[in-house]
Structure 1
Amino acid sequence: MKSFEKLLSENKAWAREKKAHDPEFFAQLAKTQKPEFLWIGCSDSRVPAEIIVNAQPGEMFIHRNIANQMISTDFNCLSVLQYAVTVLKVKHIIVCGHYGCGGIKAALGRQSSQLVLTNKWLMHIKDVYRLNRAEIDALPTEEARVNRLVELNIQEQVQTLAHTSIIQQAWHEENRPTLHGWVYGLDDGLLKPLVTLYPDTEIDPIFKYDYHEADMALPAMKFVSSRR
């Protein structure tokens, strides 16, 4: 059996097991999705979001990319964020990175001549390193430096979330969602909370959103949501 055929076989076995345990499982799941969480994680194959928190299908809305970044010009991630917050009404957003992240390791080195697009993606992490260079360079080992940048990157992505109009408008109007930054240990399978931002968190005034403009844009946003 080829590797991709094994996946199809395992899918059939999983579906049979689910239906045997709960005959209405897929019928109920197909009706709607009401996840409480948006998970923004790393694409690393060793960090499967649902599995490490023992979540069931339908419990989490998930977006993954290299080194779990929330980049303010990434329309893919922003579209996921807007749908999760505006339509699905998630209560929590979790940015989850992991120790030993390959993207973070790459960001600490020189740019690769063979990975031009990846270089551009990692540039944001290089900025996090540049702003924290003294602290990171003072650490005794490469592993320690990588893992500290992993933590700092997670915290930076949570801050970037708070700087978006999507989050600030939801905080202002609905007092949600709460933002979390977690890091996952590959060697022990445990999650470690690093930072939590509640809807009443005070952010730097330079990043604050103009609520008058938000109110003007709101009817258009509601119109889009109603068509989903």
Structure 2
Amino acid sequence: MKSHERLLLENKAWAEEKKLREPDFFERLAADQKPEFLWIGCADSRVPADIIVNAEPGEIFAHRNIANQVIATDFNSLSVIQYAVQVLKVQHIIVCGHYNCGGVKAALDRQRPDLVLLNKWLMHIKDIYRMHRAEIDALDTSVEKANRLVELNVIEQVRRLSHTSIVQTAWKNDQRPMLHGWVYGLDDGVLQQLVTLPAGSDVDVIYQQYDVDGF
């Protein structure tokens, strides 16, 4: 059996088991989605959002990219954030990184000439390394350096979320969402909280948006 065929068979088995346990599950799921959480995670295949928090389908609206980035010029992630915040009305946004992240480790090294597009994506993580270079370089091992950059990257992405007009408008009008920065351990399967920003948290004035009246 080919690997992709196994996935199709596993899907059928899962769907049948789900219907046996909850006969109306897919009818309820198809009717609407009302997730409480937006998950911005890494595309790494070892960090599936729903599985590691034991969530059911419909509980988490998810966006994943290399090294869980929130980039102001990335219309893909911004569209997801806008839909989650303004349409789905999520209460929480979670940025989740993970230790031993390949994207973060690559950002600590020189650019590879064979990965032109990836180099541009990783440039944003290199900027975070540059801002915290003294702290990271003072660590003893390459593993410690990479893992600290993983943490700093998560914290920076949460801050970037707070800089968006999408989040600031929702904070002002609806007092939501709460922003969270988590990191996942591949070696133990445990999540750790790094930072939390409740609605209305302080935002550096240079990132604040003007109100409609100009103030």
Percent of matched pairs sharing the same residue: 68
Q: Which residue of structure 2 lines up, in the alignment, with residue 160 of structure 1?
A: 160
Q: Does 1:183 align with 2:183?
A: yes
CA distance in 1, matches of 2:45, 2:91: 26
- For 2:137, the equivalent position in structure 1 comes to 137
Deviations 1:98-119 (A, max 9, x none): 0000000000000000000000
Q: Determine the structure 1 residue equivalent to 2:71.
A: 71
Which stretch shifts more, 204-213 or 180-189?
204-213
**Deviation of the 1:200 alpha carbon:** 2.0
User: Aligned residue for 1:205?
Assistant: 205
**Aligned positions of 1:1-228 closer than 5 A:** 1-212=1-212
The amino acid of 2:49's aligned partner reads A
Structure 2 residue matching 1:109: 3-state secondary structure? coil
Does the CA-based 8 Å contact 1:169-1:211 persist in structure 2?
no
Please list every run of 5 or more consecutive structure 2 residues that lacks an aligned counterpart in the other structure.
none
Amino acid at match of 1:123: M
1:189 to partner: Cα distance? 0.3
Contact kept in structure 2, 1:178 and 1:199, CA below 8 Å: yes
The 3-state SS of whatever aligns with 1:39 is strand
- Deviation for aligned residue 1:213: 6.7
Residue 211 of structure 1 and its aligned partner are, at CA, apart by: 1.7
Distance in 2 separating the partners of 1:211 and 1:124: 29
How far apart are the structure 2 equivalents of 1:59 and 1:213? 37
**C-alpha root-mean-square deviation of aligned residues, in Å?**
0.9
Gaps of 5+ in 1: 215-228
Q: 2:14 & 2:213 partners in 1: Cα distance?
A: 49
**Aligned structure 1 segments of 4 or more residues deviating by more than 6 angstroms:** none
The 3-state SS of whatever aligns with 2:82 is helix
Aligned length in residues: 214
Secondary structure of 2:112 counterpart: coil
Q: 1:115 to 1:171 in 2, by over 3 A?
A: same
Q: Deviations over 1:185-206 (max 9, x none)?
A: 0000000000000112111011
